Copies of this chain bind each other. A is one copy, B any other.
């Protein structure tokens, strides 16, 4: 009955039928060719010629039993290539993949990725064939999903319309929400720093390297979270992999932190020595080697911490049922800014106590 409706009417009807938004039920079309096992190729082709006009695709012919239950899918090419007297039962290979009508479109995308088919049949909970989904619908779903993920990873709500078409007010709203959330989070840096005001007053040189250190943590964190979010979206990494990922990121964080730490130590020491030799002044004070040591170790710690929290946050979010893409670069950076600052000043207290502090 649903096949008699126009696409517009059909969209309304399927939504009334109770398929939730984002489900395969909303994406499928009920126009397909279903045949029986005991038909010949000639009968199938005659049937197609008579009833195939409305079918979304004629690439696949579906084989159903007497109660409409899907028992196989056969490519049309088989019917085009086999002798006209062959029977469907001789052609079918008894293996098929199908989507369930209540599956999410994301899950469907993973099935398409796995089977690499131009179309997949959709069955209800009794296994009865109710529709098909084609891979060009999937291309749209894949691109929409990537866009949503990318926008969330950029630190905003996903826009529901293209940039040039969305209203100014809608766009600013979607961006302002997260910007304010991040701002409120980042306010903790001011609170944290207020606790280190005495130390700052005694060793003002610490302030010079603060942006450098906390941003390095943010950068390494956003790399790690980006990698995880995309790998999860593509199904390359699942929740169960968290332990392997953590081990890998622990090593990566140490390696990356080590590289930046060495550069940091070289930067501080070199500049101090150049300044002493050519300008006869000590930009980082008499205890510059302690400054250099603090910067170096802080970099290792902050980058390691950024890498670990950036890679684990998507797992935590997914475990809680949230979208991993919410752990955007700005979100991770804000988190790491606050904690990185505490790491930096704690290390400074430890290393400089009795000399500069």
Contacts and interface: CB of A to CB of B under 8 A. Distances in A.
Interface in A183-220: 183-184, 186-187, 189-190, 193-194, 197, 200-201, 204, 207-212, 214-216, 218-220
Given A164-B236, A211-B189, A222 B283 contact: no
Contacts of A201: 204
B80 A45 contact: yes
Interface string A96-116: 000000000000000011001
Contacts of A212: 183, 186-187, 189-190
Interface stretch (A15-23, A225-233, A347-355): A225-233
A223 B175 contact: yes
Given A58-B76, A153-B150, A193-B207, A162 B231 contact: yes
Contact of A237 (B57, B58, B163): B163
Contacts of A209: 190
A117 interface: yes
A14 interface: no
Interface stretch (A66-74, A123-131, A137-145, A315-323): A137-145
Given A183-B216, A227-B159, A208 B204 contact: no
B230 A150 contact: yes
A162 B49 contact: no
A142 B146 CA distance: 9
Interface secondary structure of A, over-half rule: helix
A239 interface: no
Nearest to A137: B116
Nearest to A254: B172
A55 B75 CA distance: 13
Contacts of A49: 80-81
12 contacts: A52-B77, A135-B136, A142-B142, A142-B143, A149-B150, A151-B227, A159-B227, A171-B252, A179-B223, A182-B216, A194-B283, A223-B330
